[in-house]
Structure 1
């Protein structure tokens, strides 16, 4: 027995520590894939792993990190413990921090701690910075963020950005995503920017300097519900491939600046376009416009707040589709309206409004049935999604036109329909199934 024990000790002493002798790229990959709290535990494996953890460049304090720590603690203990753990992680890190993602959970009150943490990483070469604030009040971003001049990716949610007076702008940013962010002073994200997404932000007028020069690298611009938008900014974005404008807050004084035809003509590289359908009103319909438009690269078009009782928008969406000879996907997001007994949309409750609405829908139906549309072909169209369908005659006639004019169509999905009557739903579906189809593979999918 004694000899066996001695042999085991000898074997342990001569055993190869395989886990500490893995190639560097393998250990880096392991730490990268592990949740942060598990990555921290690797430091107890050996001195080698302790050193690797101390040099780990990617710190992600996300939902998984917080849920692991605070599930059984009261609020005061949670805040104290979380603050101490994050501070200790930053303290033991003695290498560059390339990625820093921080979630501020609701009711955790970590704003002051976040100031200190951002200060600590501001001179460590951080390139990818994300802060998601779930508190009910915005986090006022510390000025130390503006010292992170090596940033390439910036993502902020529910923050206030107050750039210093002499801030010269970020020089290396390529991707910026801002949600519920208030900008209080003029600033720029630099000339290398590829992607700019602004969602429910205020103070975007302070980004005017971003659009005073040619944004030759900007390929994606998305602006969603950000208040007043200066249409002239788009004159410096000719190389866009993805454009999203979901806002209709345009002052009367600036409506003359809106020219959808010029917009798409000056951006021939656009592949994905999603708009508030309000902007369709600023496109001149007709064959002449179709010849002038240069949307041959457009493969996906998404229109929000679409209205089937608006003849101008119906005409113009068909015009835009016809000029987009490579269009493969069409998505329509509608505002559900009340219908009359005849299946017509009603946009008002008064007798006058009801009559007006029925007349508008009737005009749309007549237009969609006109012989001039018979020769319309959507050669590449493959998929169509229509959200919040109410089952009006205008909707059905539009679907009938698409089925008859799309030889490569695979399916039309009708999502979140507002039709509650099973008999009415069955009747509409039966009518849809009876429509002739240019594509034998085309399906109607009702969900």
Structure 2
């Protein structure tokens, strides 16, 4: 973390015709001027290696009504993130820490990448897993690569010295069907109960799924074979769904 962050110049908020905003490295994003009316034309917002002040990010996203591409990477002080973006089609999250994560209004989201997300508490990790699940009821999601997050969800059920066991109550009702998901790629799978529950939910809910790719980590050939057999026994909503384990 740098010793000095440079504030984003306030005149940027007066550039109302902006269609793309990319901010990277050693910038602090503070609340905009009181007369800020939003970026009415921005379609792409990319933020990486910057410091956030308060809940500015949620407000900024909500004030970009035409936003279709959102890329967030290594943001400092990302406590709460509410994504309200009705035109959003693609989203990439690669952040080291996040508190509350809520996908409020993303009906057109078709592709999202979740990479290297860690959380402050077990409850926050559960909220992220639930956020992924509720994508099914709120958007047109077709592709969902997951990296690192799946293993974190899995570790919830088997961490030592934990007094509370975190469970996910996956809902198989029709209103939570993944009606558009075609491809799912999960990295870092260890075969935990929570991971298997999530995969079982996806397979039973994804009616047009074609390929589920699972990349294992830290298990031997015997355990991998057992995992493969368990996965093959899961019910599949899509007759064309293929499971690839590597």
Aligned twin of 1:422: 221
Cα distance change on mapping 1:321 and 1:357 into 2, 3 Å? farther
Equivalent residues in 2 for 1:297-446 (5 A)?
297-306=108-117, 310-324=125-139, 326-334=140-148, 345=155, 354-356=160-162, 359-360=165-166, 363-364=167-168, 367-368=169-170, 372-375=171-174, 376-415=176-215, 417-446=216-245
SS in 2 for 1:444: strand
- The separation in 2 between residues aligned to 1:273 and 1:441, in whole angstroms, is 26
1:223 to 47, 55, 67: 47
Deviation at 1:377, TM superposition (A): 1.0
1:243 to 56, 64, 70: 70
Deviation at 1:282, TM superposition (A): 4.1
- Number of aligned residue pairs: give it: 230
Aligned twin of 2:89: 271
Deviation at 1:306, TM superposition (A): 4.6
Aligned twin of 1:188: 12
TM-score, normalised to structure 1, is 0.45
Cα pair 2:189 2:214 within 8 Å, conserved: yes
Cα pair 2:30 2:52 within 8 Å, conserved: no
TM-score, normalised to structure 2, is 0.76
Cα pair 2:210 2:240 within 8 Å, conserved: yes
Cα pair 2:157 2:194 within 8 Å, conserved: no
- The separation in 2 between residues aligned to 1:185 and 1:402, in whole angstroms, is 41
Cα distance change on mapping 1:403 and 1:311 into 2, 3 Å? same
Higher relative contact order, structure no. (Cα contacts within 8 Å, ≥ 6 residues apart) = 2
- CA deviations on 1:313-349 (whole Å, 9 max, x unpaired) are 222321233111x21111222158699xxxx62699x
Deviation at 1:247, TM superposition (A): 4.4
- The separation in 2 between residues aligned to 1:330 and 1:280, in whole angstroms, is 21
Deviation at 1:206, TM superposition (A): 7.6
SS in 1 for 2:162: helix
- The separation in 2 between residues aligned to 1:393 and 1:386, in whole angstroms, is 15
Deviation at 1:207, TM superposition (A): 9.8
SS in 1 for 2:46: strand
Cα distance change on mapping 1:195 and 1:334 into 2, 3 Å? same
Deviation at 1:280, TM superposition (A): 7.3
- The separation in 1 between residues aligned to 2:21 and 2:207, in whole angstroms, is 36
Cα distance change on mapping 1:185 and 1:193 into 2, 3 Å? closer
- Structure 1 stretches lacking a partner, 5+ long: 1-181, 285-292
SS in 2 for 1:354: coil
Cα pair 2:157 2:193 within 8 Å, conserved: no
Cα distance change on mapping 1:418 and 1:198 into 2, 3 Å? farther
Aligned twin of 1:22: none
Name segments (4+ residues, structure 1) moved above 4 Å. Answer: 182-185, 206-209, 276-280, 306-309, 335-339
- Structure 2 stretches lacking a partner, 5+ long: none
Deviation at 1:184, TM superposition (A): 6.8
- The separation in 1 between residues aligned to 2:72 and 2:133, in whole angstroms, is 19
Cα distance change on mapping 1:301 and 1:395 into 2, 3 Å? same
SS in 2 for 1:373: coil
- CA deviations on 1:96-127 (whole Å, 9 max, x unpaired) are xxxxxxxxxxxxxxxxxxxxxxxxxxxxxxxx
Between Structure 1 and Structure 2, the one with more helix by share is 1
Aligned twin of 2:107: 296
Cα pair 2:172 2:205 within 8 Å, conserved: no
Deviation at 1:274, TM superposition (A): 2.6
Cα pair 2:116 2:148 within 8 Å, conserved: yes
- The separation in 2 between residues aligned to 1:433 and 1:331, in whole angstroms, is 20
